[in-house]
Homo-oligomer: A and B are copies of this chain.
Amino acid sequence: MTGLAHGGERRARGKPVMMDVARLAGVSHQTVSRVLNEHPSVRSETRERVLRAMEELDYRRNSAARALVTNRSHTLGLVTFDTTLVGPSSTVYAIERAARDAGYFVSVASARSLDEGSVANAINRLREQAVEGIITVAPMDSALAALARVPADIPLVGIGVGEAMGVPMVSVDNIAGAAMATKHLVDLGHATVHHISGPPEWPETRERVTGWRTTLRQVGAPEAPVLSGDWSSRSGYEAARMLASDPDVTAIFCGNDQMALGALRALHEAGRDVPTEVSVVGFDDIPEAAYLLPPLTTVQQDFAALGRASLELLVEQIMAGVRTQQHMRFPPELVVRESTGR
């Protein structure tokens, strides 16, 4: 009696297994497996019968058993930091879609904070799940550091993580983007361009600073110190407020659109008109940029393309079984609207 009750306990809600389907279709479990895996040598009549049986029982294969025996989880890991930001969230979205098309599931793990331990922890959680590869959408230095410690046998791609030792990477060409923005302002006749950057511990921030600074040097314009924010509108607002009182400030290049938005507000409060008195350029081209007051000139980056490319790079590595050394940089594009003028 106990034996009976107990024997039935294990298999929870009597979920059908391959053997049940096989029995119903009058074949062996192996034939069911072949149908499931689209093996060619199954008579089409048999296949039909099996498919009908699967349908009838609402059978679905046990992915754990499959993973156990094939040693493949068909799952990719995504490390994110703050998906509230527009860039990362669009990128994640694109990755998920591409992964599904490539036949992979996507598991996400977010890093709690900026430090390396937190990123390493996220990576570990993913590894525990036996993901076949990892993409980090966490473009700060700590992520790169954590990535560098991951054993070489697990495929990896970092997005916007900066050039480094053996970690394949995908990003937009921030230097070129910042140069375009700066050049645009200089060409408009501004004596120099001020810069409100993102947090310095983001490689993208430093690259944009480099692009900005290099351009300024090329044209022999004076270089004001960089003010750095945290990507938020608030920080852009605060930084711009300091700049607004200085009549020499006539052009501001912001590290992203949110900060530019904050800057726009600060300038407005200070009574300095954009673009007649001060020009502002952002970075990213968020969907709202075209509807700000005034519409924001900005550097557009294609987050979806970034996501797709990173996935492609990852899948390539999984197939090849070797870690690529590849770096991919996408060219951004300047979108001129009405926040810049002379």
Contacts and interface: CB of A to CB of B under 8 A. Distances in A.
A68 B64 contact: yes
A236 B288 CA distance: 11
A293 B264 CA distance: 8
A146 interface: no
Contacts of A63: 64, 128-130
Interface of A: 10-13, 58, 60-65, 67-68, 71, 73, 75, 80, 82-84, 86, 89-90, 92-93, 96-97, 100, 105-110, 112, 125, 127-130, 151, 153, 232-234, 236-237, 258, 261-262, 264-265, 268, 287-288, 290-293, 295
A108 B108 contact: yes
A261 to B, nearest CB: 6
A26 B276 CA distance: 78
A101 to B, nearest CB: 10
Contacts of A125: 100, 105
Contacts of A65: 64, 68
A60 B128 contact: yes
A72 to B, nearest CB: 9
A70 to B, nearest CB: 9
Nearest to A288: B233
A58 B65 CA distance: 24
Nearest to A266: B291
Contacts of A73: 64
A73 B264 CA distance: 49
Contacts of A109: 96, 100, 105-106
Given A61-B128, A63-B130, A258 B288 contact: yes
Contacts of A287: 84, 232-234, 258
29 contacts: A58-B151, A61-B128, A63-B129, A64-B64, A64-B65, A64-B67, A64-B68, A64-B73, A83-B89, A83-B90, A84-B89, A84-B90, A89-B89, A96-B108, A96-B109, A100-B125, A105-B107, A106-B107, A106-B108, A106-B109, A233-B288, A233-B291, A234-B290, A261-B288, A261-B291, A264-B291, A265-B292, A265-B293, A268-B293
